[in-house]
Amino acid sequence: MQQASVIVVLDESIDAEQLAAQVGGAVIHRYERAFRGASLVVPEERLPILEEIQGVQALYLDRLVEPDTDASPRFIGAPVAWQMLGGQGNAGEHVTIGVLDLGIWPEHPSFADPDPSGKPYPPPPVRPGANGFGDAPPRNTCDFGNMGANPDDAPFACNNKLIGAYTYLETYKTVIGLLPDEFDSARDDNGHGTHTASIAAGNAGVSASIFGLPFGTVSGVAPRAHIVAYRVCADQGCYQSDIIAAIEQAIRDKVDVINLSIGGGASPYRDPVELALLNAYEQGIFVAASAGNDGPQADTVEHRGPWVTTVGASSTDRAFVSTLLLVADNGDTLQLTGASVTPGILAPAPVVLADDPATPGEVGGRCSAAMGPVPAGAIVVCNRGSSARVLKSYHAANAGAAGMILRNLTPQGVNPDNHFIPTVHLEADAGEQLIQFLQSHSSVHATFTPGTRAAAQGDVVAPFSSRGGSQQILGINKPDLVAPGVQILAGHTPLPATLLGGLPGQLFQVLQGTSMASPHVAGAAALLKAIHPEWTPGQIKSALMTTARTANVVLPDGTPATPFDRGAGRLNLGRAGDATLTIDAPADEFRTLANQLWNANYPSLFLPDMPGRITVQRRIANLTDKKRVWVLTVDAPPDVQVDIPKVIQIEPHSELLLPITVDASTVPLGEVRHANINFKRGREHHDFPITLVRGQPVVTLTAACTPNVLSRLERTDCTLTLTNRSFAEAHVAVVDRLPRQLTLLPETVEGANVDGNGISFGGILPPATPPQIGAVISPTASPAGYVPLAGFRGSVVVNATDESIANFNVPGFFYGGETYSRVGIVSNGYVVVGGGTADDVQHINSDFPDPAVPNNVLAPFWTDLNPEQGGRILINVLTDGADNWIVIEWENVPNYQSADERNTFQLWIGTAQDAHPEEDISFVYGPSITRGNRGNLTVGAENAFGNAGVTVYFNGTGTPPRPSYPHGDFEVAIVSQPGAPGGSHTIRFGAQAGHMPGNWTHCAEMTANLFQGTHIACVSGQVSH
């Protein structure tokens, strides 16, 4: 029986045990502080029943998410904050950081008490577990020493540095289970958890070495802070229900800061972990989280909730390098520089390309487990890709290599990993030089130096760091800031459970990722909490963002980074501790303004659909006992105007309401602009970034004048068009004042009132009607019945896995009155018209219509399928000579619960470029078809808004699918009716050019009840001489 893990929010009418009994499930975690609810493991077929039980306020499928620092504290200005606390030896005392990660290596010197200077730690303000465990059973607060599961799990007594260590893996162990070599405790067998904890709060003055090579001393950002480790992840990732249980306990333990270097949170108001973090924020806990490692593509950032401080990655001014010298038999040489922390190859050794199954277009191989033998003592060249970098050195060692040169095929950054043999990692340009040298010379030998510290360019936003972008519809720009996350030297576990941890026995490693950047901010927040114990999480966030460094923060190509890349800037503790001005919001404000977060009191402004002109407000707080006067200046592009007072005065311990009017009337639709407000008082200054995306609100306004180049006294005819695109009634008001070069001709005005040298209009525009979707069961719905795609040339096999989506560009077709040329093929038997994202992949089928994602769906057979267990998905374009169809086939794909229950079905979509271009969509079924996984199945379709749709079959209701021609007669035709546009109003008038030559612009302005601000449409022209 297939089990599913779910997270439920409950009202007072039901408890978790009652709920579990009704659906035959088991309670894994109970939640009180994060929210009132629980996590359960239940039979998958009972999930539809669970949603309908009275008292269940919300249900979330439990997702498995993945985990996404030496010189970096100095680089971010931590010594300035240390000095404010009496020096590094006191920095962070009496502040507690909770690290939710893969556990911790408790014997690591970074967590010793006393610290390396001999100074003992004071007792923490709150001992872990002192406030109980709620309704859950008591839990080991220093969970080490489970030698029955792993004899290497030595007992450890927590101290006043590492004050607690929990294990929250109940769901993970129930659903997946631990590997034989993993610790069943809070002990870290991966290294990621020890690394992040030591970055945030590792002891100062710890000597660091790797493979016997000394790399100096390291310190955490808040070296005297207390640490509580919450292990929530194991080898394959982290279940959300386990993370929430840890957040629940962290709230009880009264930690001051949480670090979450784990993915998730792209839809924060629908993500149970993010909602639990909102409650942590409300309880006074600052939360730092990693932005993700999916850059540099736009709109890839994670943790988008305003209550979380989301951190991208940038470089420091230090790197770990090795010099590679190649010498050919004719004496030619080539010297290259790469990344390394391993010993070098000091005696010349022959260089060979990996004998590995070739990837088309590549020179050499990727050093997989299938690679051929390497001549003894040789250095092998391995291409990056397909497998983890460290695994390549493992395979190379097994093949007989003495050393490895790892080369990037595209620019990705270089990583000095803990390899199994001496290794130097080259960037793509250096790697290409290497290949050219090898191809043009014979008998090439090489040496490379041991890894060593070297100067590097700092403040470069890492290519992998996830980016914000124009599609951040919530109205908050992320990331909030960047911090060091490239080549960070910090702690490691000496006993990794898998080969990915590198050669065992090392207490340090160099990693990169936004996982490393986030704990820098967590440590910085701990320092600010120590300096200002009364500060709220929002005030700490404001101080960190508004004092961040923006000057010379660049992209790898040297161009200036924008707020989409670096947020407010790079973390700068040299200024943050002195902040006397903050802009922060309570948790309830984020709840109330969830659909208009640009109005929340956030220390930046992002306008995702800028209508033209808008006014927002910010509450500016003076945290001192003196009156403060601030001078405000604006830096903005020429086509953006930001109107603010030039000087503000704020009374002691008071707030001032600052109006900010942004006018982007002349910015072309769809374009992005960035601006900045600077607050300056003496040497203290703060920056407030502004980003806008020029858009059309739901009520559109267009303007045109013909002609627009006029001779003196010549007439132009102008048209304004208002259209309501929403599904609600629009109350609109329009004003258009003509410039002095034009004179209105009053007798020509239609659809508006004459208003001086201009017009005005007020009225109501009816709402639009959404597209309607219908379905007809017909034996002749399709053009040919079931025709296996395997018999046609050109059929493409979709790269499908369990819970996957693959987007394809296709010939244009009609659906719901719109033309589309892209489809997202989901492994679970449906297509997202127009393409989709990972959020559109759902294995629990819905009844149509349903406003929740996915929307714009064609679902011939939506159930939980698993192409990893067998079968395949294909796509092709077929023709009969006159008409063409896009055909997508799920061929013999099994239900998730049983590989023996196979399903074959097709989606046929007629194209818009053939003899019959009208809408033509049908579902066809092959000889093998079931009633879906555990009887859960949707056959139907839905529009793009999720407010109209149809099902011919849903979980036992309706007519289930059967084989189509030639094996039967069941087919489904999908028919849609285009939506009706909303009300439209046209205003026409004529204007005459005067005697004054020159350029002119007139702008029509519209306000409405359905959007904030003023929508502005402008027309420009000229009166010629």
Q: Known catalytic residues?
A: 101, 192, 515
972/953 Cα distance (integer angstroms) = 11
Name 833's Cβ contacts closer than 8 Å, sequence gap at least 6.
Answer: 815, 816, 820, 823, 856, 857, 858, 944
Q: Coil, strand, or helix at residue 720?
A: strand
524/289 Cα distance (integer angstroms) = 13
Q: Position 436: which residue type? A: Q
CA-angle at 899, arms to 872 and 938, nearest 5°? 70
Judge whether 449 and 538 are in contact, CB under 8 Å: no
Judge whether 983 and 725 are in contact, CB under 8 Å: no
Q: Which own/partner contact pairs does 495-498 have at CB distance under 8 Å and 24+ positions apart?
A: 495/152, 495/189, 496/189, 496/190, 496/191, 497/179, 497/181, 497/182, 497/183, 497/189, 497/190, 497/235, 498/179, 498/181, 498/190, 498/235
Using DSSP bridges, classify how beta strands 309-314 and 481-484 pair: parallel, antiparallel or unpaired.
parallel
Helix axes 537-546, 514-531, angle to 10 degrees: 110
User: How many C-beta atoms lie closer than 10 Å to residue 482's C-beta?
Assistant: 33
Find where tokens 């995702």 sit.
608
Find where tokens 């007798």 sit.
747
Using DSSP bridges, classify how beta strands 709-710 and 508-511 pair: parallel, antiparallel or unpaired.
unpaired
Structure token digits, residue 270 = 């629908």
Q: Position 232: which residue type? A: V
Name 682's Cβ contacts closer than 8 Å, sequence gap at least 6.
Answer: none
- How distant, in Å, are the alpha carbons of 93, 543, 571 from that of 86? 11, 20, 21
Q: What are the backbone dihedrals phi and psi of residue 621, each rounded to the nearest 5 degrees, phi first?
A: -100, 135
495/312 Cα distance (integer angstroms) = 29
658/406 Cα distance (integer angstroms) = 54
- How distant, in Å, are the alpha carbons of 5, 35, 224, 934 from that of 27? 10, 16, 38, 22
Would you state the torsion angle of the CA atoms of residues 13, 19, 21, 22, taken in this order, to the nearest 10 degrees? 90
962/751 Cα distance (integer angstroms) = 57
Q: Position 327: which residue type? A: V
Q: What are the backbone dihedrals phi and psi of residue 530, each rounded to the nearest 5 degrees, phi first?
A: -70, -40
Would you state the torsion angle of the CA atoms of residues 451, 457, 459, 462, taken in this order, to the nearest 10 degrees? -60
Burial class (CB in 10 A: 0-12, 13-18, 19+), 184: middle
Helix axes 192-201, 514-531, angle to 10 degrees: 30
Q: Coil, strand, or helix at residue 587?
A: helix
Structure token digits, residue 638 = 């020429």
For 11-106, list the strands marked E by DSSP: 26-31, 37-43, 56-61, 64-65, 96-101
Name 381's Cβ contacts closer than 8 Å, sequence gap at least 6.
Answer: 351, 352, 353, 354, 364, 404, 405, 407, 434, 435, 438
- How distant, in Å, are the alpha carbons of 87, 385, 419 from that of 341? 31, 21, 9
Judge whether 566 and 550 are in contact, CB under 8 Å: yes
CA-angle at 847, arms to 842 and 848, nearest 5°? 100
